[in-house]
């Protein structure tokens, strides 16, 4: 996205193409956003990761329509991103390259993976590390601006917290439970040492793929065996005292959205992910109150964001020429 004076460069490229005997337009403006523009080259570059997904998942007869719809949706997202960047500059919000790299290092540490493995995972999804860094930077700018413009205006009353607790009391009281996803590789009958070692190696390989960023749901659908395999490994909520001891010990020690190491039980090798927790009776009322407050704040922020963006668009000069 460029300043409006970049229009001259776009025009020059079109004229150059014409003078060299080519009829096609090399580049053109697809959107004006206040004093900046978005070009067709920028839109097509951002659209590249979506092409393979459409080719892999959309029937040939519907692809042209899906490509057009997806491009328009992406262009509107690029407009929103540019508007947010413009507002961030006005507000003096700056995200440096070091801020971005620090955020990525923290993410890699939480996932217990390396930068090299993560880059390979991005490549398998049809994107690049530079594109990912750009997305992270946009997300950080957006987050800091929203904290200033939106979150500061959000208020959750004690009455709202109390009402939410009354309607969802079962989530905070009663038996402690975790919502689990599982990839189980069960032991075969009459298993010898070689078969067990081979199965453990398979489980270890699956764990490496998960830590490299592959989808738990996708791998569970492809590789899991046992009762949960047909539901992509989703076990739902499982109460304390109803699981295999080896699995339960790990499950209730993990935080939300965390993936375990390979767990060996009498029935096989397990890899689990804790999706949610409820009924943690040992929590103090203050901790429960803070959790509910944060949840209600997030819901209000989502609603406020839509309103704030609509107002920002209404106050801006936007022309779409796709």
3-state secondary structure 63-116: HHHHHHHHHHHHHHHHHHHHHHHHHHHHCCCCCCHHHHHHHHHHHHHHHCCCHH
Residue 179: in which H helix or E strand, if any?
strand 177-186
pLDDT of residue 7: 47
Domain boundaries, the chain: 1-87, 175-278
Residue 244 Cα distances to 224, 240, 301, angstroms: 18, 10, 40
Beta bridge partners of 274: 180, 258
Fold of the CATH domain 175-278:
Chitinase A; domain 3 (3.10.50)
Task: Determine the Cα–Cα distance for residues 233 and 199; give it in Å rounded to an integer.
Answer: 18
Give pLDDT, residue 15.
39
Q: Which tens digit of pLDDT belongs to each residue from 218-253?
A: 888 888 776 555 566 788 888 888 889 999 999 988
**DSSP conformation class of 61:** H
Helix, strand or coil, per DSSP, at residue 310? helix
pLDDT tens, residue order, the chain (322 aa): 555 444 444 444 443 444 444 445 568 999 999 999 999 999 998 888 788 778 877 888 888 999 999 999 999 989 998 998 898 888 888 889 999 999 999 888 888 888 988 888 888 777 789 888 988 988 888 788 877 777 777 889 999 999 998 888 777 766 688 899 999 999 888 888 888 888 998 899 898 888 888 888 888 888 877 655 556 678 888 888 888 999 999 998 888 888 999 999 999 999 999 988 877 655 677 888 888 998 898 888 878 878 888 999 999 999 999 8
What does the pLDDT read at residue 305?
A: 79
Distance between CA atoms of residues 239 and 249, nearest Å: 12
The whole-angstrom separation of Cα 161 and Cα 292 is: 6
Rounded CA gap, 198 and 289, in Å? 48
pLDDT tens for residues 89-118?
Answer: 888 888 899 999 999 998 888 888 889 888
The rounded distance, in Å, linking the Cα atoms of 140 and 134 is 10
Q: Of 292, 270, 288, which Cα lies nearest the Cα of 279?
A: 288
Which among 292, 273, 272, 277 is positioned nearest to 239, based on CA atoms?
Answer: 277
**Pairing status of strand 29-33 against strand 318-320:** antiparallel
Separation of alpha carbons 290 and 215, rounded Å: 31
pLDDT of 317: 95
Q: How far apart are CA 252 and CA 200, in angstroms?
A: 23
Say what the pLDDT of residue 229 is. 59
According to DSSP H, which parts of 150-284 are helical? 158-167, 193-211, 216-223, 245-251
């Amino acid at each position: 996205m460029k300043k409006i004076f970049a229009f001259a460069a776009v025009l020059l490229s079109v004229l150059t193409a014409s003078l060299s005997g080519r009829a096609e337009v090399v580049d053109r403006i697809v959107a004006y956003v206040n004093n900046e523009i978005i070009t067709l080259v920028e839109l097509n570059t951002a659209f590249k990761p979506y092409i393979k997904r459409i080719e892999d998942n959309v029937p040939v007869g519907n692809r042209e329509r899906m490509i057009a719809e997806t491009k328009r949706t992406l262009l509107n997202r690029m407009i929103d991103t540019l508007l947010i960047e413009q507002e961030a500059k006005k507000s003096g919000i700056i995200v440096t390259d070091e801020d971005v790299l620090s955020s990525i290092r923290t993410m890699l540490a939480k996932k217990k993976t390396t930068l090299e493995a993560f880059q390979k995972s991005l490549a398998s999804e049809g994107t690049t590390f530079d594109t990912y860094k750009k997305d992270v930077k946009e997300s950080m700018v957006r987050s800091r601006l929203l904290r200033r413009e939106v979150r500061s205006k959000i208020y959750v009353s004690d009455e709202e917290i109390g009402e939410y607790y009354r309607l969802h009391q079962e989530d905070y009281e009663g038996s402690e439970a975790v919502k689990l996803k599982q990839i189980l590789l069960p032991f075969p009958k009459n298993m010898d040492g070689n078969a067990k070692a081979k199965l453990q190696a398979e489980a270890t390989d699956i764990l490496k793929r998960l830590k490299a960023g592959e989808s738990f749901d996708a791998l569970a659908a492809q590789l899991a065996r046992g009762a949960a395999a047909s539901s992509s490994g989703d076990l739902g909520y499982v109460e304390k005292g109803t699981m295999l001891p080896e699995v339960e010990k790990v499950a209730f020690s993990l935080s939300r959205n965390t993936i375990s190491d390979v767990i060996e039980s009498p029935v096989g090798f397990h890899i689990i992910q804790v999706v949610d927790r409820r009924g943690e009776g040992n929590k103090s009322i203050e901790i429960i109150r803070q959790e509910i407050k944060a949840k209600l704040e997030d819901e209000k922020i989502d609603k406020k964001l839509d309103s704030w963006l609509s107002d920002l668009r209404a106050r801006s000069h936007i022309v779409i020429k796709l």
